[in-house]
Structure 1
Amino acid sequence: MAKLLNVVTGPVMPYLDIVKDKINSLCAGLAPWQVVVYSCGGTLVFITVKNLLLSNEEQTLKKRTLNSIFRYVKMIPAVKRKVAEEKNKMLSDMEASFHKSVEGYQKALPVNGLKMEEVEELLLQYKNLAQVDWENGQVSGTVYSGEAELTELMAKTYGMFAWSNPLHPDVFPDVRKMEAEVVRMCCTMFNGDENSCGTMTSGGTESILLACLTYRNIARDNGVNFPEMIVPVTVHAAFDKAAYYFRMKITHISVDKVTGKVDIKAMRKAINKNTCMLVGSAPGFPHGIIDDIEEISALGKKYNIPVHVDSCLGGFLVPFMEKAGFPIPAVDFRLPGVTSISADTHKYGFAPKGSSVILYRNPTFRQQQFFVQPEWPGGIYATSTTGGSRAGAIIAACWATMMHIGLDGYVESTRKIVKTARYITKGLRDIDGLIVYGEPLMSVVGMGSDRFNIFRLADILTSRGYNLNALQYPDSLHLCCTLVHTKEGVADKFLSDVRNAVEEILADPQDHEIGGMGAIYGMAQSIPDKKMVGELAGCYLEAVYSTNKE
């Protein structure tokens, strides 16, 4: 063995001696403690640089470098204490804002169960906590119908199917049939053929998560260890959540500053061997812009990459636009590259909250989202979505809603909503000082300004009872029009209130303190460490569950 070792190492020994002599000369005159410190420090630097350069995380080298710097800075005791103080203060402020309208909290089960009438009385008290009146059209999105007749139908349906669970289709064949029919009706709406398929989900986020999971699984089957999705920067944050959950890389592509559509050339350049899916929005949440889905579809077809169309927001407007007199470019299964579509039945489908669909071109894709555990002692466990047990009553209420409204009803609601949105768009463009972003073809209208802080407008409108969506990059607001906004006088009142508020701002152009979401976004954009922004936002989520009021 010694002879063999000598044969192997003999030729390199002279070089090892040279290295040894070089190291000894560098350490000459150093105290032992210095040698230890320099060695440990050098090792730490080497490992940090190696991790930054060779990491397979989804973040860019620049982001990884900044995150490392911020992580070390926050280890400094003084900085660590300051960060903790700010987080505690923000948590306390958030809790106080939630507690101000609440007298106290139920922290344990009542010793004796309450009578029905007592529970109903408490329910009314809880319902009266809501202070925003959405019925007068001063809320963006949130409630998409609210009609009393439909509410009554939902309530009856809930009662009939309250105990049903589609996890057991043999026990509840009624709900199984309804879910299958909801999916098939939606496939037909989006021009899918007999091979198109899908599942119902608990909402748009789950629909998007399942699409991303599907394409990640396909990519991994093809030998891609770290699949990458390429999406517009304006795409819904659920895609970022999917990347976070499923260990995927997400690459955000910029949008055209004028049209607001994703830059197709930049998307093409971003495609690589790890790309598992391309995404376009129809429409996007921020400003209601429809990406060029036809071009994205062509890219997917050319490079054999699945294309997902996120139509969660406008899924029950898109299929009816042409029949309602508002033609839009094709965004559905008529485009050969489109392999999946997400659409929320609980938005413009007017179904109850907690229902959406994810649709696929064929069952080969859908099978990749299924989960099966064949070796569980409890039996072979198989589910089509992330949930096991699901609320059959929601599926039944969704089915009942779609059957009640029908094709003619959806065409009419689309006509009313889009007509109102375009009326509001034109009115906002006529207001001096306001900008409407891009060409919103559907229900969402995004507005900003290059003459004043748009969040000042948000503050004024909030003080007058409005609840609009605040956006960033760029700072802006949007109104998501629903059936509520189509009521007589609602659109004109909104335009009048916005016009008066803008005139008030332009008459007093000096800087004013911005409150509400504007202040939060301003603070967030001033902090370079976005992980810290995430931690502060986590304070909001913590406060939602707080019952600390004495």
Structure 2
Amino acid sequence: MEQVHILLHCARLSINEFFDAYDSAETVGITVFIVLSLIWLKNFLFQEESLAARINRVVFKVAKILPAVSLKIECEKKKATNDFQTNMLRLHEGRPYVTHLPKTGWSRERILEEVKSNLKLGHYKWKEGYVSGCVYNLNDELVKILTEVYGLASYTNPLHPDIFPGACKMEAEVVRMTLNLFHGSEEACGTMTSGGTESILMACKSYRDYAVEEKGIKHPEIVIPVTAHPAFDKAASYFGLRIKHVPVDPDTTTVDLKAMRRYISRNTCMIAGSAPNFPYGTIDPIEDIAALGRKYNIPVHVDSCLGGFITAFMDKAGVSHPPYDFSIPGVTSISADTHKYGFAPKGSSVIMYSEKKFLHHQYCVFPDWPGGVYGSPTVNGSRAGGIIAACWATLMYFGVEGYADATKKILQTTKYIEEGLRKMEEIFIFGKPGTSVIAIGSNVFHIYLLSEGLTKKGWNLNPLQFPCGIHLCVTYMHTADGVADKFLSDVREEIEIIMKNPKADVAGKTDHHTGLCEKQAESSLDKQHEPSSLMAMYGMAQSIPDRSVVGDFTRYFLDAMYITKGANEEVYRNGFK
């Protein structure tokens, strides 16, 4: 202790001696400069993104200034744009586009013929269960019912409850039925939305406003796992929120609770977990996350958009599991998509809250508008009453027994596929699937090679990155006889082919000067292993430190969705008269 005092005394003398040569103003200026420099250094060193990653990004940004590198990047961007547009036009199979209104209206027969022709485009056999997720059930009887229901309610709009009270009644019933499935109390409440993204947006907006108006937080932050859906990032972008991404345990692929605790601050307005997350299908420890919420008095959101209508029926399907809903003290909101495993038509989801004080902050109310007092429960003003009616009709069609039976079949099929995959030594499963998603990786070969091979057999799987992986989202379509066995058989067959050359690199070699991937001039990669543009893009994207470049490529991909011109301009201009 005495030595510490001696050291402090020596330090004080040295500091005083240093500042003897400066007057008071200079001393204050130097002190402020040193303090600000230390704060900058602390902020620079201690961020979510690692120091190495930031250094790589800065180096890449500087390198982009070099003419050779800049030219290379622009060439790659132009090539990507052309590739995306060419691939999209190929998907449309050369069919002409309608770019101007017809001079006279089309007949009913012609309209229906053209719609049917457009809906036949695409080569994936989604009706046979060859697609991951996307279409969650296909029931001819239900389609006929919903077509009729939507037609009856197609003109309704719940923005006008006095004119269309029936649409509002059905929405209220959908919300209450869903709340009861998730053990909401009488005080629990919510609204329908257009999908999981809007449900998550609404939760983030509610907690932002609650934090600002009720708790006096000026700069609200949300804390989520890195595996949480990008809808949270979209909400942060839209609503001016800061977002903190918490790492996950590499073995379980669920959120690291100790890290989540460290990320919580006085500005945290919301923490969230997934049940399950999209990439790996694993379920975050919701009870432990809710305990953090209770401890720090922070609202907790459970994103159950993907698996909500499975977790809600697990008990009735005879599957034991910990709770993921309002039965956990501290869970204040849940998002669940009726248009996924609720089997309703696309465009419907439910956002639920434990108390109305949160829901009230979701509403947008403008009492001083000259057009009258305006209030809206969600992002949209006008909403499609037909979607609400179709969702209501779907819930009534299946009932508890129907959903429980579907849940049981989906979970049994998922388990069957998981066990079959785990027997294949060349691949591994990420974590422990919680509901219906099975994520696959490999330490022996590049996993995108497997995805490529399965694509050529008609399968469509979801690519994952950081680390590379692929996943299958099991739907009711996969429970049909023979589908699961066919998938496992095709996986085994493709692995046997890949193992003839397991060291092949799906993305080609990497140019370390730019981070861009180039095709090998002379590759030993067999033609059947050549990656598609999508897999090549993913392989390349992960090697680029500056994520803004990856963002540009993504924007070009989205642009391609709206392309209406092709090589044969005359066909596109005069295809319809």
Question: TM-score, normalised on structure 2?
Answer: 0.84
| Residue 119 of structure 1 pairs with residue 119 of structure 2 | no
What pairs with 1:354-369 in structure 2 (closer than 5 Å)? Answer: 354-369=347-362
Q: Do structure 1's residue 273 and structure 2's residue 273 form an aligned pair?
A: no
- Work out which of the residue numbers 536, 544, 550 in structure 2 matches 1:519: 536
Aligned partner letter, 1:406 = G
1:312 aligns with 2:305: yes
Letter in 2 for 1:192: G
Residue aligning to 1:160: 152
Give the structure 2 partner of residue 470 of structure 1: 463
Among 278, 283, 289, which residue is 2:282 paired with?
A: 289
2:173 equivalent to 1:181: yes
Trace 1:394-405 onto structure 2 (pairs within 5 A): 394-405=387-398
1:215 match: 207
Q: Which amino acid aligns with 1:157?
A: V
> Counterpart of 2:443?
450
TM-align CA RMSD: 2.4
Give the count of matched residue pairs: 508
Residue of structure 2 aligned with 1:506, choices 496, 499, 502: 499
Larger CA deviation: 93-102 vs 191-200: 93-102
Instruction: Give the secondary structure class of the aligned counterpart of 2:360.
Output: helix
> Is it true that 1:375 corresponds to 2:365 in the alignment?
no
CA distance in 1, matches of 2:54, 2:492: 45
Q: List per-residue Cα deviations over 1:378-401 (Å, max 9, x = no partner).
A: 111110000000100000000000
Alpha carbons of structure 1 residues 366 and 121: separation in structure 2 relative to 1, 3 Å? same
What are the superposed Cα offsets for residues 297-327 of structure 1, whole Å, 9 maximum, x if unpaired?
Answer: 1110011000000000001011110110111
Q: 1:96 aligns with which of 62, 67, 86?
A: 86
Counterpart for residue 150 of structure 1: 142
- CA–CA separation in structure 2 for the residues paired with 1:349 and 1:177: 19
Q: CA deviation at 1:507?
A: 3.1
Work out which of the residue numbers 190, 193, 201 in structure 1 matches 2:193. Answer: 201
**Contact (CA 8 Å) 2:445, 2:503: kept in 1 or not?**
no
In 1: Cα distance, 2:25 partner to 2:217 partner = 44
TM-score, normalization: structure 1? 0.88
- Find the residue that maps to 1:526 and give its secondary structure: coil
* Corresponding residue number in structure 2 for 1:172: 164
Write the letter of the residue equivalent to 1:529: D
Q: Displacement, 1:223?
A: 2.4
Relative distance call for 1:69 and 1:453 in structure 2 (3 A) is closer
Preserved CA contact (<8 Å) 1:422 1:441: no
Q: 2: CA distance between counterparts of 1:278 and 1:461?
A: 38
Please tell me the residue identity of whatever aligns with 1:169. Answer: P
> For residues 393-430 of structure 1, what are the alpha-carbon distances to aligned partners after superposition, in whole Å with 9 as ceiling and x for unaligned?
00000000001110111100000000100111101001
- Change beyond 3 A, Cα 1:539–1:85: same
Of 315, 318, 332, the match for 1:322:
315
Residue identity in the other structure for 2:542: Q
Contact 2:446 2:502 in 1 (8 A): no
Distance 2:39 2:291 in 1: 39
CA contact (8 A) 2:252 2:431 kept: yes
Matches within 5 A, 1:379-458: 379-458=372-451
| Paired residue type of 2:361 | Q
Deviation by residue 1:117-147 (Cα, 9 ceiling, x = unmatched):
1111211221221221111111001100111
Offset of 1:153 from its aligned partner? Answer: 1.0
**1:87 matched to which residue of 2?**
77
Distance 1:518 1:359 in 2: 37
Q: Which residue of 1 aligns with 2:515?
A: none
Query: What amino acid sits opposite 1:213 in the alignment?
Result: K
In 2, Cα distance between equivalents of 1:263 and 1:166: 42
Give yes or no for contact 1:52–1:65 (8 Å, CA) kept in 2.
Answer: no
- Give 1:59-78 correspondences, 5 Å limit: 74=64
Q: Cα gap change, 1:15/1:441 in structure 2, threshold over 3 Å: closer, same or farther?
A: closer
The 2-side partners of 1:361 and 1:18 are apart by: 57
- Contact kept? 1:373, 1:382, Cα under 8 Å: yes
The CA distance in 2 between the partners of 1:226 and 1:69, in whole Å, is 31
- The SS at the match of 2:184 is coil
What is the deviation of 1:199? 0.4
Q: 1:455 to 1:501 in 2, by over 3 A?
A: same
Q: CA deviation at 1:437?
A: 1.4
Once the two structures are superposed, residues 155-197 of structure 1 have per-residue CA deviations (whole angstroms, 9 ceiling, x without a partner) of 0111100100011111000100000000000100000010000
CA contact (8 A) 2:61 2:546 kept: no
The residue type paired with residue 83 of structure 2 is D
Deviates more, 1:116-125 or 1:491-500: 116-125
The equivalent position to 1:133 in structure 2, one of 114, 125, 131, is 125
- CA shift at 1:232, angstroms? 0.9
Q: Judge which range, 513-522 or 182-191, deviates more.
A: 513-522
Q: 1:85: how far off?
A: 2.9
Q: Choose which of 562, 566, 569 in structure 2 pairs with 1:545.
A: 562
Identical amino acids, percent of aligned pairs: 50
Query: The residue matched to 2:438 in structure 1 has which SS?
Result: strand
Kept after mapping to 1: 8 A contact 2:57/2:545 = no
2:245 to 232, 241, 252: 252
Matched, 1:461 2:454: yes
1:506-528 CA deviation, whole Å, 9 max, x = no partner?
23324134334321111001111
* TM-fit CA distance, 1:73: 5.1
Offset at residue 67 of structure 1 (A): 6.2
Per the alignment, do residues 48 and 538 of structure 1 end up closer, same or farther by CA in structure 2, a change over 3 Å counting?
A: farther
CA distance in 2, matches of 1:70, 1:517: 23
Query: What's the CA shift for 1:52?
Result: 9.6
Q: 2:545 aligns with which of 528, 531, 534?
A: 528
Residue aligned with 1:280, SS: strand
What is the CA–CA distance in structure 2 between the aligned matches of 1:265 and 1:15, rounded to whole Å?
48
CA distance, structure 1, for counterparts of residue 357 and residue 365 of structure 2: 15
State the distance in 1 between where 2:392 and 2:99 align.
37
Question: Per-residue CA shift, 1:355-388, capped at 9, x if unaligned?
Answer: 0000000110000010011121111111000000
CA distance in 2, matches of 1:274, 1:179: 35
